[in-house]
Amino acid sequence: MRLHVADHPLVAHKLTVLRDERTASPTFRLLVDELVTLLAYEATRDVRVEPHEITTPVTTTTGVRLAEPRPLVVPILRAGLGMLEGMTRLLPTAEVGFLGMQRDEQTLEAITYANRLPDDLTGRQVFLLDPMLATGGTLVAAIDYVMERGARDVTAVCLLAAPEGLRVVQDAVGERLDVHVVVASVDERLNENAYIVPGLGDAGDRLYGVV
């Protein structure tokens, strides 16, 4: 597993406002959108491209364009939905799938309750979106889910990660270089309720309100 922590003053600034409990949902959603676009720049550094010939006003030249099959962006419901627009702003030609997963609050294991993905992901680059990498169970389950269907490599984009969750992912995927995790910050720890500390609370509730 490869880990990239975005070290940039704009990322740190936006993350500070996100953490503030006084930040209201509309502002929170806007900042998540902006922050994910910054993270997406790093997450797509290895996106596959192919040569493409074009004609400029001066001459012909060869550039690049996104290769086929197109990347697949997969927000993990529900909180991952708040990251979708920020990601597709940078990858507008990507396809979008959805994966519904939630953590059992008793066992802390991930449960899959919805799947809107192609059955065959052979050769696809997949970008998983989930704001919080806490225990790591949900992300490991999502990685397994897409790789069992043939995904070539997987990049997870998260706002925050806990060291405990990163260890779980590392133990699950080992030294595989086709699994990449991009985060804005690695926080201190998990608390007794498996929330990231200092964290920013429940990302879904802060994005959409308590349901």
Residues with Cβ within 8 Å of 58's Cβ and at least 6 positions away in sequence, in order, are none
Structure letter (DSSP) for residue 2: E
Establish whether 132 is an annotated binding residue: yes
Residue type, 42: E
Q: Which of 27, 46, 13 is nearest to 184 (CA)?
A: 13
Long-range contacts made by residues 13-21, C-beta under 8 angstroms, separation at least 24? Answer: 14/38, 15/159, 15/160, 15/184, 15/185, 18/159, 18/200, 19/198, 19/199, 19/200, 21/201
Q: Is 202 annotated as a binding residue?
A: yes
Q: Is 29 annotated as a binding residue?
A: no
Residue 135 annotated as lining a ligand binding site: yes
**Residues 5, 25: contact at Cβ < 8 Å?**
no
22, 60, 107, 119: the catalytic one is: 107
**Residue 137 marked ligand-binding:** yes
Give CA–CA dist 144/151, Å, rounded: 10
Question: Could you confirm whether 107 is annotated as catalytic?
Answer: yes
The answer to whether 143 is annotated as binding is no
Is residue 133 marked as binding? yes
Catalytic residue among 7, 104, 120, 202: 202
Q: How far apart are CA 195 and CA 197, in angstroms?
A: 6
Closest CA to 97 of 63, 57, 123, 125: 125
117 is in an annotated binding site: no
- Say whether 2 counts as a known binding-site residue: no
Residue 62 among known ligand-binding residues: no
Q: Is 201 annotated as a binding residue?
A: yes
Active site residue 7: no
Q: β-strands 110-116, 72-77: how paired?
A: unpaired
Residue 155 among the catalytic residues: no
List the catalytic residue out of 46, 144, 178, 205: 205
Marked catalytic residue, from 19, 103, 149, 176:
103
Residues with a catalytic annotation lie at: 103, 107, 202, 205
Binding-site residues for 5-phospho-alpha-D-ribose 1-diphosphate, in ranges, read: 78, 103, 130-138, 202
Binding-site residues, in ranges, read: 78, 103, 130-138, 196, 201-203
Binding-site residues for uracil, in ranges, read: 196, 201-203
